[in-house]
Structure formats: C-alpha cells, structure tokens
A and B are shown apart, each in its own frame.
Chain A
Amino acid sequence: MTNLQQHPEPPAELEAEPVVVNLGPQHPSTHGVFRLRVIMDGETIQDVEPIFGYLHRGTEKLAEERSYTQVVTLTDRLDYTAAMSNNLAYVLAVEKLAGIEVPERGMYLRVIAAELQRIAAHLIFVGFSLDELGAFHTPLLYGFRERERILDLFEMLCGARITVSYMRPGGVHQDAPVDFWPALDRFLADMPHYLDELQGLIAENEIVVARTKGLAVLLAAKAINCSMSGPVLRASGVAWDLRKQDPYDVYGRMQFDIPVGANGDTYDRLLVRLYEARQSLRIVAQARKEIPGGPVRTQAPFFIRPPVGEAYGHVEAPKGELGFYLVSQGGISPYRCKIRSPSFINLTALKEMLVGYKVADLVVIFGSIDVNMGEVDR
C-alpha cells in the first residue's frame, strides 16, 4: 500500500498537451457518416481535419455506364433530402447538351416540385439545428411533421416520397393528378402559420440566440474565396441566388426576394433558411396560379444521343449551387458526368469556422453549413 504522503509534489505549472479526438464516423449529429479529427487544447479547438468518403458509391462512374434517362435515378441518391432539386439540375444539363425543349406546363411543375423540396430540406435543417442545440427530438419532429405533407404531395405527383425520379430530359414523367391541386392549396394555406410558429421557437429563443449569435462568423470575402454557395453564402451578406442571377425554367417570371444575413454568423445561417422557405411558398403559389395546360413532356427518344460536346447545367439547390458537367462523345451514355456538389465544396471553410471555438459549439457550427453526406461522398 502506497503512502499518499510519499507521492512527489505535482509541478507548480501543469504541462498541457494537445489532445486528438476522433468525432465519428457517425456522430457529428448524424448528418451522415462523417468523421472529424479534432486537435484540442483543453476544450478549445486548435485544428480540424474532416475525413469522409464512407458513403462514396462512385455515382460519376456509374453514370458513364447508364443511358441519359437512367442516370436520373442516380441523382435521387445524392442529397437524399432534396431529390427533386438533384433531378432538375441533371435534366437541365442534359437538355442543354442535347438541345431538348421543355413544354411550359412541364417547367411549371418542375418549379413547384423543386420549391416544395426546398421547404422540406430547410425544415429538416431547422429541426436538426435545434436538436444540435440541445432541444432533443421535439422540434425535430415539428419539422418532420410538416415535411411529411410535402412528401405526400410528391407521392401524388410520382408515387415516391424520397427517391422521386420525377423529372426527365424534356419535362416531367407524368402530369399531376386532379387531387394534387386541392391538396397543394390546403398546404399553401396552412404553411405560413406553421412557419410563424417555427420562427417563434427560434428567432427570439434565449438559448438559440445566446448560443448562435456571433458564433463562427464567415466574412463575405472568405466565403467567396472558399467557393461557398447557397444559404451559407447568403448568410454572409452576398445576395447570390442562381434562381435570380441565372434563371432557369420559369424562375425569371416569379416574384420573390433573396433573404441575406447581416453578420454571417450561425444565427444568420439558421434564419436565412426560414426566410427562404417563405419565399419558396410565394413561388409555389404563383406557379400554381399561372400554370398553363398542355403537355408536360417533350417526347424525347428513350436513348438520347446528344451531339459531341459538353454542357454545364446548374440549379440553386437547398444547399447551394448543384451543377452537372456532362461530356458527350455521341453515345447513349455520358462520357463524363461530373457533379459539382454544394455540400462537398461548402466543407472548404469548415476549418476556419471551427478553430478557436469550444468543442460544445462544434456540432452547432458544423450543422449550420448543412451538409448531406450522400452529396459530399457521391
């Protein structure tokens, strides 16, 4: 038995060494299988290395073996919370490459679907952000409850809820059933009230404000240099939205505003998305009012053979600029299909945003970028 008295005196100043902690693969509040190698001094983050690729399925390689139409199903599985937006980005690139026209009604249906999808994706984001701030599960389910109604609408459109594969080069694969329109009207009537409620839970919530105001400020110049896009860029005060700056389909006819943040902090990144969801409702309401009759799809051949060349098509997806760069050598499948994924590129600034903060803020900051591992790893 050792005598406690005999232990040497501890040195007057304790030496502290940085500690390496592996967060994940899995936890960082489970936006997917992601790992962060964090070097910490006590609780302060000194350095971060994001490690990913656990969900890499080789989507770009698979696309080289499939016909242009078949690739649509692969795009569903990129950002699986925003399949409609992925479909749209891809079919726009194919239409550009092959010179396919889209009928008016098809374009309107695509805009309605893509904007509903944006609301759904932002609801998930807000729910998970509150989860990460410690409000376990209840607010998350508020978000999921309303998202469910959007998924029901998708089910009416195409029979699927998550992996929709609704769009085709040349339009959408079927018209909306008659029941869809009254259901959409009910949704549009209920949603503003619900968004008010959700905003009430966040905007002036003492805990949310205390934990997110001034946290991980991303300055506009830095955001641009890091190629950040989407709500993260707009929260930093840059009014850049492809729906306005490079309108596709019928966005040029829609009246809507681009919400931007004032400080570029985590709080702004949270609220920008809520405001965006409101603007999406405005767009859906207009599109629903203006939608003309007629066909929803140009009859493109099942095997599309675009001329030799290349095209880049992009959309403002819920997470940022989603682009497809397609190269054709005249065959029935793309010679090269590159996916410019917003989640992947938005991770560039992660290190700058995290260094100097406490480990308790890490998940909140990481969550505020809103990445989806299906899209990061592809």
Chain B
Amino acid sequence: MTRQLAPQEVARFLSGAAPGSVASWGSAGVVVHRESLLPVCKALKDSADYATDFLVAITSVDYVEYFEVVYHLLSLRHNHALVLKVRANGRESPSVPSVTSLWQGADLQEREVWDLMGVAFEGHPNMKRILTWEGFPGHPLRKDHLGG
C-alpha cells in the first residue's frame, strides 16, 4: 500500500530543509511559497528519507481568487506519496517556477497546464501550447473562459 505522508510531518521537514518555505498545510497537502518551490522540490528529491524520485502528476485548479498548481510526488524506493501545492500570483499573468530541471516528466505536463489553465512556468525550455493551437483564444479550463 502506498503510504500517504502526513502533511504535518512533511511541513516540519520542509521548515528545517528550506526555512520559511511552508505557507500552510492541511489535510490535502502542504502549500509552499512559489519562490521556494525549487529548493523544496530539490530537498524532497535529494533527502534519503523522502526520495521523491517520481513526479506523478502536475495539476492546476482555478479557485477564482488564485490559481493553485498541485504536484503529486511519489517515492518508488519507499513507496510513499505526498501532495505539494503552490499558488500562482494574480490572474493577469500567473506563473510558478518550472521543475523540469528536477523531473523531466514535468515537460509535457507543464505545457498542458500553460495551455489549458494559463499558468506559465518560468525556466521551462519550451513553453508552448500543446493540446490547442498557437493563437487559440484564452485558456479553456479557467472558470471565466468565454464569460464562464
């Protein structure tokens, strides 16, 4: 059985490994500040206890007040999983740092989030639309797409 790590436990580890990175945590996962996303991911991936070598999925959710990008991380070695979240800034041109330098598996998924939700990833090598075409009006998964 894949063990779901308690967000509280993860938050405590992160406050030690990357001080000031945790914004909040709840039953659904740990929310980190967008500036510290990369150090946080690196700490989780490199630590022997967490060893989150597998990026399962990147998702984005439009909560109207903010966009949330959700990372499902998994460790094949320890068979445990955790959920990491980061909130993008504003609605005009929201962005979060890209994690492609840590997991290549983020490549297509970040492009999908950009295409459908309009959250850009800083440092992505090829930030282009992927499912719709260049010039497609807007980002269809936003709640206000075509007037909502």
Partner-B contacts on A (CB < 8 A)? 52-53, 56, 58, 60-61, 222, 224-228, 238, 240, 245-247, 309-310, 312, 314, 321, 323, 325, 327, 335-336, 338, 340, 344-345, 347-349, 377-378
Partner of A225, one of B59, B61, B79, B104: B104
Ordered by A's residue number, 16 sampled pairs between the chains whose C-beta atoms are within 8 Å are A52-B131, A53-B131, A222-B104, A225-B103, A227-B106, A245-B79, A310-B28, A312-B83, A314-B56, A336-B141, A338-B59, A340-B56, A340-B72, A344-B109, A345-B105, A377-B131
Number of A-B contacts (CB under 8 A): 82
Instruction: Contact check, B57 vs A340: say whether CB atoms are below 8 A apart.
Output: yes
Instruction: Contact check, A345 vs B109: say whether CB atoms are below 8 A apart.
Output: yes
Instruction: Contact check, A61 vs B56: say whether CB atoms are below 8 A apart.
Output: no
Task: Summarize A's interface: helix, strand, loop or mixed.
Answer: mixed
Determine the chain A residues whose CB is within 8 A of the CB of B17 once the complex forms: none
- With known contacts A227-B56, A338-B57, A247–B1 Cβ distance under 8 A: yes
The CB with the most chain B CB atoms within 10 A, among A247, A323, A327, A336, is that of: A336
Determine the chain A residues whose CB is within 8 A of the CB of B59 once the complex forms: 325, 336, 338, 340
Taken together as a complex, chains A and B put the C-alpha atoms of A93 and B121 apart, in Å, by 28
Instruction: Contact check, B56 vs A226: say whether CB atoms are below 8 A apart.
Output: no
Instruction: Contact check, A345 vs B108: say whether CB atoms are below 8 A apart.
Output: yes
- With known contacts A56-B132, A378-B131, A225–B72 Cβ distance under 8 A: no
Instruction: Contact check, A323 vs B56: say whether CB atoms are below 8 A apart.
Output: yes
Instruction: Contact check, A348 vs B108: say whether CB atoms are below 8 A apart.
Output: yes
Determine the chain B residues whose CB is within 8 A of the CB of A60 once the complex forms: 116, 141
Instruction: Report the count of interface residues on B (CB-CB < 8 A).
Output: 32
Determine the chain A residues whose CB is within 8 A of the CB of B53 once the complex forms: 224-225
CB distance from B84 to the nearest CB of A (A): 13
CB distance from A105 to the nearest CB of B (A): 23
Taken together as a complex, chains A and B put the C-alpha atoms of A131 and B69 apart, in Å, by 41
Taken together as a complex, chains A and B put the C-alpha atoms of A56 and B62 apart, in Å, by 20
Instruction: Contact check, B140 vs A348: say whether CB atoms are below 8 A apart.
Output: no
Determine the chain A residues whose CB is within 8 A of the CB of B55 once the complex forms: 227
Kindly identify, within residues 95 to 148 of chain B, every residue whose CB is under 8 Å from any CB belonging to chain A: 103-109, 112, 116, 130-133, 140-141
Partner of A323, one of B57, B76, B103, B140: B57
Taken together as a complex, chains A and B put the C-alpha atoms of A60 and B112 apart, in Å, by 12
Determine the chain A residues whose CB is within 8 A of the CB of B25 once the complex forms: none
